[in-house]
Amino acid sequence: MFLDIHELQKHPIILDIKFPSGKFDYGEGISQTGDLAVKGIAELHVDAIRLRGSLKVEMAAPCARCLELTPFPIDQAFDLFYSPISTIAREEEVEIQTPDLEVGFYHGDGLQLEDAMREQVLLSLPMKSICRIDCAGLCPQCGQNRNAGDCGCHPMKVDQRWSPLEKFRS
């Protein structure tokens, strides 16, 4: 959906949109398992486009320890400002102030809502997806998922030079 600056000059646009799974590419291993529901309002604030509202989506990513696909919900509010790129397009170097860090930029006559929402989902993703707090991970020798059961592999021998560090293990 294109948010046209000329349309926003006339009136705010109410957002109540669902984007189906598969619409966005979030990167390798990360998938959207349900609709991305966006509710909110787009309005003109001086010369900036302001997007306020919330998004809700069910995502899935591989567990960082055992590689099992792990679902996790995202339900978050957003309040975003997008200014025309021409407001900062300068030849000389300028120092960026703190308020400048909170603003996105758009080219031309408006902004693609899809781009803004994809960015918000990506920023909401956890750094590491863990299926459960006590995930045992994969066996480093045979690769079996240790959550499914013991693989029977013997623990690897530790180089004796590392033995003084054993006292720090909990």
What is the number of domains present in the chain?
2
Closest CA to 113 of 75, 160, 78: 78
**Side-chain half-sphere CA neighbours of 140 within 13 A:** 4
Residue 44, domain extent:
2-135
Domain check: are 168 and 103 in the same one?
A: no
Q: Which residue has the tokens 């693609």?
A: 112
Express each pLDDT in 120-139 by its tens digit: 999 999 889 999 999 999 99
What tokens appear for 153 in the block? 């592999």
Domain check: are 61 and 12 in the same one?
A: yes
Domain check: are 124 and 155 in the same one?
A: no
Who contacts 32 (Cβ-Cβ below 8 Å, separation ≥6)?
21, 22, 23, 24, 26, 57, 58, 59, 60, 121
- Conformational region of residue 47, where left means phi above 0, alpha means psi within -120 to 50, and beta covers everything else: alpha
Express each pLDDT in 10-34 by its tens digit: 999 999 999 999 889 898 889 999 9
Report whether pLDDT(56) > 90.
yes
Domain check: are 111 and 145 in the same one?
A: no
